[in-house]
Amino acid sequence: MLHIDTVIKQMKVGYTKPSLVECNDQRQYVMKCQNDVISGKTLFNELIGGRLLHLLQIPTPAFTLGRIYPQLTTDSPVLWSMRAKPGTVFLSSYTRGVSMINPILFKDITNREDLPGIVLFDQMTLNQDRGGNRGNWFVAQKSMELLAIDNSNIFRLADIWDSHTLHADMRIPPERIDFSQPGYQTIGTYFEGKHPFWKYGRLVKKVTDEEFTNLFVNIPLDWNISADDFAAAQQFIKFQFEHIDDIINELESDFKKGGRHNAR
């Protein structure tokens, strides 16, 4: 596993206090670690969300896990100021680009076909932090691809979800995310074809038992995810997979109505 050699700086934005770091492979990453505001559950959300994005072929920066040694949490002023905990961290490969939801710049995105996937991902995982957060739409400078970043708020309740909340969220029709938010309104205008979400329905149906199992393997023990919460997270994603047709039907009818949020 990689380890952090140097903390370069704290990123300009980010509730979780992400930092730009260099690892022992001499590459730069945006690192999320346990600290005074976030727990291992946020890192769990990042890892499961990242793996799920891969499975659905939705572009996101490459990611891996790494380790902060105890010495660095006292030597680095950035880590010291956020009371960073030593241990396993989430690393997203540093990519040049900008965060934005700007309708004019959106026109130049090279991967419009991926946009419905981001919406479906958010609805499936109950991601609460994209539609209204311009920071979580990231356009890579070179490729002009829109990348989905920041899975810290999947499972609806940031890092306070637990087995009870997830069991309550396993229902059809699903709890809806708010499509009236600016990010969704903007990308909705770029959807192509009558059934933009069905490609993902087909992908979900093709997921093998092994691929599903692999979403949840090798979760670091120092993230302290309880056995109940772990099982509930697996059951929740399984439930969403099994009900993918219902989820897509709801999404399609919402987008036909112009992205109106069905408040419940």
Ligand X SMILES: Nc1ncnc2c1ncn2[C@@H]1O[C@H](COP(=O)(O)OP(=O)(O)OP(=O)(O)O)[C@@H](O)[C@H]1O
- Residue from 72, 84, 86, 150 in contact with ligand X (CB under 6 A): 150
Per rule CB under 5 A, is residue 188 in the interface with Mg ion?
Answer: no
Residue of 136, 151, 153, 186 that binds Mg ion (CB under 5 A): 136
User: Residue 168 and residue 138: Cα distance in Å, rounded?
Assistant: 32
Rounding to the nearest 10 degrees, give the CA dihedral for residues 52, 113, 182, 118.
-10
Contact flag: residue 42 with Mg ion (CB under 5 A): no
Among 99, 180, 185, 214, binds ligand X (CB under 6 A): 99
CA-based angle 187:193:198, to the nearest 5?
85
Give residue for tokens 């009371």. 83
- 138 part of the interface to ligand X, by CB under 6 A: yes
Interaction of residue 135 with Mg ion, rule CB under 5 A: yes
**Residue 149 interacts with ligand X (CB under 6 A): yes or no:** yes
Is the torsion defined by CA of 119, 62, 240, 171 positive or negative?
A: negative
Lay out the site mask for Mg ion across 145-164 (x = CB under 5 A, - = otherwise): -----x--------------
**Which residue lies nearest Mg ion, judged by its C-beta?**
150
Residue nearest to ligand X (CB): 14
In contact, 22 and 39? CB cutoff 8 Å: no
Q: Does 186 bind ligand X (CB under 6 A)?
A: no
Cα torsion at 165, 50, 242, 264 (round to 10°)? 40
Q: What is the DSSP letter of 17?
A: -
Residue 40 beta carbon to Mg ion: minimum distance, rounded to whole angstroms: 18
Show the tokens assigned to 199.
Answer: 């490609």
Look up residue 110 and give its DSSP letter.
Answer: S
Give the 3-state DSSP-derived string for 62-85, with helices as H, strands as E and coil as C.
CEEEEEECHHHHHHCHHHHHCCCC
Does residue 2 interact with ligand X by CB under 6 A? no
CB 149 → Mg ion: shortest distance, Å? Answer: 7
- Cβ at position 148, least distance to Mg ion in Å: 11
**Binding of ligand X at residue 30 (CB under 6 A)?**
yes
Q: How far is the CB of 218 from ligand X (least distance, A)?
A: 21
For residue 193, is it left (φ>0), alpha (ψ between -120 and 50) or beta? left
Is 15 near ligand X (CB under 6 A)?
Answer: yes
Cβ 21 to ligand X shortest distance, Å: 11
Q: How far is CA 224 from CA 9, 163, 217, in A?
A: 27, 14, 14
Shortest reach from residue 145's CB to ligand X, in Å: 13
65 counts as binding ligand X under rule CB under 6 A: no
User: How many other β-carbons are positioned within 10 Å of the β-carbon of residue 169?
Assistant: 18
List contacts with Mg ion (CB under 5 A): 135-136, 150
List contacts with ligand X (CB under 6 A): 11, 13-16, 18, 30, 61, 92-95, 99, 129, 133, 135-136, 138, 149-150, 152
